[in-house]
Copies of this chain bind each other. A is one copy, B any other.
Amino acid sequence: MIMLPGPTNVPSRVMRAMLKPIINHRGPEFKELYARILENLRYVFQTKGDVTILTASGTGGIECAVSNIVQGANKILVPVSGFFGERLRDNIIAMGGKVVEIPVEWGKSVNIDQIEDIVKKDKDIKAIALVYNETSTGTKINCLREIGEFCNEHDLLFVVDAISVLGGDYLPVDDWHVDICVAGSQKCLMCPPGLALLSISEKAWSVIEKSTNTFYFSLKAYKKYEKEGQTPYTPAIPLYYALDEALNMIKEEGLENFIQRHILCAKAIYNAIERMGLTLFAEEKFRSNTVIAVKYPPKVSDSTFRELLRNKYKVVIAGGQGKLKGSIFRIGSMGMVTQAEVLQVIAAISMAFSDLGFKLNFDDSIAAVREVFKEK
């Protein structure tokens, strides 16, 4: 079992969908498949605007968003509170954009006042780009809606990296005034990795129109070909089939239930980890619903602990990234996660620590999981 912050466990319905026949991506079967996926993606993004699919990882989706706006909105405000915030910042710089950075302590998150202060002083800022759910620290921005409203009032473009969260937490892009939202197939959406998903607002198009610096990621090209029911470049057909099936499953469950299930599982994991006596990395009010970051007790080796977990208890979780390497571990709670997976990961963590000589409150931690699910 993999409890990574991506890739995640993929339901067998979704895996098997990849075996459907390879089709002509310029033919009628693809047109039908593509139209259905786009319609269902609109449901997940909660948008009436445009959505599109790229054959690329999430970082490719970010490069797409960035390269399509840097020419039209050159100075961009970027709060940075972790590895993926740094990556977003660096990507904007690589594509020729100017960045105004808000450095945020890892484990915390930006607040609306910091943003307002800077934007009011610097009239050249044309966009705000940020990571909603910082996978490297297990934090989320808890004022995303307010930032969106602020962007809307001040005519700023609002670009949101929601790669590790779309479907796992609330993010109605139209209501929250998100102009470009980027998600990945291999996180909450229960698909294999390989597709990046974007929503694009009407307001974003006026900026995108000015872009000439990308070809593979040109949103104008995607829009042009979409009129024919096609993608401009050959799509990864098996992954489209997988996404189609996963979106069908989300519709069957209902988006609200799907999000609530993520919230419940995360709550149970947080509850259990604290009851176990371990320390969470993220400050409470910024805790992510999809990535749970936990501090190692002193003198525990990350590689020893995670190898034990993997080899003896068959549970794969992630270590720290960037400057957090070795000091935290991260549990991904995304996609097809239920009480069963939560119990398994909590039990495995308890037992592995016990093997390493730590006396944690095993029974309490299991009880903590059950309490949360009973409440429901």
Quick one: which of A213-254 are within 8 Å of B by CB? 213-218, 232-239, 242
| A188-224 Cβ-contact flags toward B at 8 Å (1 or 0) | 0000111000000000000000001111111000000
Contact yes or no, B22 A19, CB < 8 A: no
Assess whether A23 is interfacial by the CB under 8 Å rule.
yes
The CA of A58 and the CA of B318, in the complex, are separated in Å by: 31
> Are A236 and B22 in contact, with the CB atoms below 8 A?
no
Contacts of A90 in B (CB 8 A): 215
A236 to B186, CA, bound (A): 9
Once the chains are docked, how many angstroms separate the CA of A19 from the CA of B18? 8
- Chain B min CB distance to A140 (Å): 20
A60 to B55, CA, bound (A): 9
A10 proximal to B (CB < 8 A) = yes
Q: Answer whether residue A361 sits at the interface, using C-beta atoms and an 8 A cutoff.
A: no
A289 part of interface (Cβ distance < 8 Å): no
Closest 7 CB pairs of A and B: A194-B236, A63-B216, A57-B233, A59-B233, A193-B234, A91-B215, A57-B234
Chain B residues near A9: list those with CB within 8 A. Answer: 22
List chain A positions with a Cβ less than 8 A from chain B. Answer: 2, 4, 6-10, 15-16, 18-19, 22-27, 55-60, 62-63, 87, 90-91, 94-96, 184, 186, 192-194, 212-218, 232-239, 242, 310, 316, 318-319
* Contact between B63 and A56, CB atoms less than 8 A apart: no
Contact partners of A186 in chain B: CB under 8 A:
22, 234
In this complex, the member of A55, A216, A235 whose beta carbon has the largest number of chain B beta carbons within 10 angstroms is: A216
Taking a contact as CB atoms under 8 Å apart, the answer to whether A239 and B194 are in contact is yes
Q: Does A192 lie within 8 Å of B238, measured CB to CB?
A: yes
Do the beta carbons of A2 and B22 come within 8 Å of each other?
yes
